[in-house]
Amino acid sequence: MPMDAREIESMIKAALPDAKVEIRDLAGDGDHYAATVISESFRGKSRVQQHKLVYDSLKGQMGGVLHALALQTGVPES
């Protein structure tokens, strides 16, 4: 059963409470999503470290229930 966009957003926000999260269903099938995540927690971290924080928030769902997630991360503009 595919993951719902709200569930993905909820899991990310549980791990990164300050995050601004935007989820888009790319194929309309509930399996292929794009996410933009903006969080102060990313400041000073490499892009790889930022993505790892997001993937860790999904608690192993990536590659299983959640088939594909195109991810863009960043820090809030000052």
Determine phi and psi for 58, rounding to 5 degrees: -85, 0
Q: What pLDDT digit, counting tens, does each position of 53-76 carry?
A: 999 998 877 766 677 889 999 999
CA 69 to CA 40: how far, in whole Å? 21
**pLDDT number for residue 63:** 65
pLDDT classification of 8: cutoffs 50, 70, 90: very high
Evaluate whether 57 touches 49 at the Cβ level (below 8 Å).
no
**Model's pTM, two decimal places?**
0.88
CATH code linked to domain 5-74: 3.30.300.90
Sign of the Cα pseudo-torsion (63, 30, 57, 71, in order): positive
